[in-house]
């Protein structure tokens, strides 16, 4: 019996997928890369973007046609709005929320199909018993890179976002479990570990003093890194500017294992748009955070998220976002054209920015980003950087890697034994979003 799993959306779904794989394989199923060979096919959906939901419909249409020729069971879970779930009921054999993952074997054995009433009750308590899900041991898809969930849900209710309606309110995972999982990963040789949550820097706040906060969690991880004396990098995503404190930045600066890369979503560079988005921070607050990062961690790279064409965004407001791009000199920005999501507050508002305008703004901001990213990359030329080799590059004979700051690097080598290892690369040339270099060798051994 074989299975196949498709994960859409963010890294949280990808991390959840590792736990789903673990549960399925304990039932005796074997993984296959080929959907057509699978007896069990699942998809972790994402209602945050319409494109991801469109892909779900495309996939399930194809899979249901296959049922005319062979036995096949399909399931769906993930980050899903109630309105999408109701439609999925008619299309998938099994629907479950991630907190109910430990019950998946029983559902498969009984060919259980969720009911609308059961699903609605589940949404009233989305994170109830989430600890049972966190206790599922993941089946990691990499032997050197891992994702560790520290929190689920979000309390911010940004007007454009569906996450509070798909994953519920914020719930923090016990810190002891997080540190122990990370310790086990490092001892097994994992070298890149990302802490995951919808709003990681509000970690612990839901526990009313019964749990440590995010800076203390990072401090304990940093102390663990000093004790283990192994080389590894710890990242986190995504923080919210409202909860980003100086203490978080100070702790990152203090410990070597805490990666010097900050992903700090701004979403817009205009205060009125930010108010309309219910972001609960202004550009000045964001500016102060970036200034602290530049002062305490000058080597840190800065990534962000930006939405263009949000309801009501005019040309002047978009130009303010361009000014923010110029001021903060991002190494990378994930730029999205706004699309209303059912369930989110902004879905009630008229989407008054045309698609053509959104495309033009997306293009313009991407061109701006290229200028700033390339300028930083050109400054890397002639310098040597520690990188983690990720795999083969698209060009034959090259390997692909990432710096600590998540700058893409390629270098000439066909030595696949380097994949998953740290090496030193001297940068020889730069492009818009990547650099190229040559392997540094010391005493006939890779540094």
pLDDT of residue 139: 81
CATH superfamily of 2-129: Methylthiotransferase, N-terminal domain (3.40.50.12160)
pLDDT of residue 106: 75
Q: Which residue has the tokens 């062979």?
A: 70
In CATH, 384-446 is 3.40.50.300: no
Mean pLDDT value of segment 159-180: 86
- Under 8 Å between Cβ of 300 and 262: yes
pLDDT at 436 over 80: yes
- Under 8 Å between Cβ of 233 and 388: yes
pLDDT at 56 over 50: yes
CA distances from 104 to 21, 48, 92, 147 (A): 11, 24, 14, 22
- Which residues 6+ apart lie within 8 Å of 309 measured at CB? 337, 338, 353, 357, 358, 361, 362
Higher pLDDT, residue 121 or 6 = 6
Residues in the chain, total? 447
Q: What is the per-residue pLDDT across 377-419, written as a single tens digit (0 to 9) for each? A: 999 999 999 999 999 998 889 999 999 999 999 999 999 999 9
Lowest mean pLDDT across 188-192, 238-242, 337-341 = 337-341
pLDDT of residue 120: 44
CATH superfamily of 131-378: tm_1862 like domain (3.80.30.20)
In DSSP notation, 174-230 reads: PHHHHHHHHHHHHHTT--EEEEE-TTGGGTTGGGTTSS--HHHHHHHHHHHHHHHT-
CB hemisphere CA count around 1 (13 angstroms): 13
Mean pLDDT value of segment 118-147: 70
CA distances from 218 to 39, 59, 222, 387, 404 (A): 42, 40, 6, 22, 17
CB count within 10 Å of CB 347 equals 17
- Residue 123: helix, strand or coil by DSSP? helix
Q: What band does 122 get if pLDDT is binned at 50, 70 and 90?
A: very low
- Which residues 6+ apart lie within 8 Å of 438 measured at CB? 411, 412, 425, 426, 428
Lowest mean pLDDT across 30-34, 371-375, 438-442 = 438-442
pLDDT of residue 163: 78
The encoded tokens of residue 73 equal 């069971």
- Residue 135: helix, strand or coil by DSSP? coil
CA distances from 179 to 28, 183, 185, 235, 236 (A): 30, 6, 10, 14, 14
Q: What is the per-residue pLDDT across 323-377, written as a single tens digit (0 to 9) for each? A: 999 999 999 999 999 988 777 888 889 999 999 999 999 999 999 999 999 999 9
pLDDT of residue 395: 86
pLDDT at 116 over 90: no
Domain ranges of the chain: 2-129, 131-378, 384-446
């Amino acid at each position: 019996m074989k299975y196949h799993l498709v994960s859409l959306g963010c890294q949280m779904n990808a991390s959840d997928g590792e736990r789903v794989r673990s549960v399925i394989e304990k039932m005796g199923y074997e993984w296959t890369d080929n959907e057509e060979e699978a007896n069990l096919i699942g998809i972790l959906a994402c209602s945050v973007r319409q494109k991801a939901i469109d892909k779900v419909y495309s996939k399930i249409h194809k899979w249901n046609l296959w049922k005319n020729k062979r036995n096949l069971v399909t399931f769906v879970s993930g980050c899903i709005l109630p309105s999408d779930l109701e439609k999925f009921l008619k299309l998938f054999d099994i629907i479950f929320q991630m907190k109910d993952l430990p019950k998946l074997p029983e559902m498969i054995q009984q060919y259980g199909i969720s009911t609308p009433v059961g699903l609605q009750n589940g949404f009233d308590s989305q994170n109830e018993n989430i600890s049972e899900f966190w206790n599922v041991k993941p089946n990691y898809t990499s032997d050197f890179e891992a994702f560790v969930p520290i929190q689920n849900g979000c309390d911010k209710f940004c007007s454009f976002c569906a996450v509070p309606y798909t994953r519920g309110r914020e719930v923090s995972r016990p810190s002891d479990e997080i540190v122990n999982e990370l310790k086990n990963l490092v001892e097994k040789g994992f070298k890149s570990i990302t802490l995951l949550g919808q709003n990681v820097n509000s970690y612990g706040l839901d526990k009313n003093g019964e749990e440590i906060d995010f800076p203390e969690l990072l401090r304990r991880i940093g102390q663990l890194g000093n004790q283990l004396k192994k080389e590894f990098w710890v990242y986190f995503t995504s923080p919210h500017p409202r909860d980003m404190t100086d203490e978080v930045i100070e702790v990152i600066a203090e410990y070597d294992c805490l990666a010097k890369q900050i992903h700090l979503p701004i979403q817009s560079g205009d205060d009125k748009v930010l108010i309309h988005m219910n972001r609960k921070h202004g550009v000045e607050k964001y500016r102060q955070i970036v200034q602290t990062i530049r002062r305490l961690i000058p080597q840190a790279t800065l990534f962000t998220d930006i939405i263009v064409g949000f309801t009501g965004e005019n040309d002047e407001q978009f130009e303010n976002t361009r000014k923010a791009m110029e001021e903060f000199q991002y190494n990378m920005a994930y730029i999205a054209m706004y699309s209303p999501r059912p369930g989110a507050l902004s879905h009630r508002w008229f989407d008054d920015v045309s698609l053509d305008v959104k495309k033009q703004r997306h293009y313009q901001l991407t061109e701006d980003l290229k200028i700033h990213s390339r300028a930083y990359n050109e400054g890397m030329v002639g310098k040597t950087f520690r990188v983690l080799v990720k795999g083969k590059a698209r060009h034959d004979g090259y390997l692909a890697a990432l710096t600590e700051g998540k700058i893409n690097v390629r270098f000439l080598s066909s030595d696949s034994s380097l994949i998953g290892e740290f090496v030193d690369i001297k940068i020889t040339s730069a492009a818009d979003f990547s650099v190229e270099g040559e392997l540094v060798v010391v005493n006939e051994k890779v540094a």
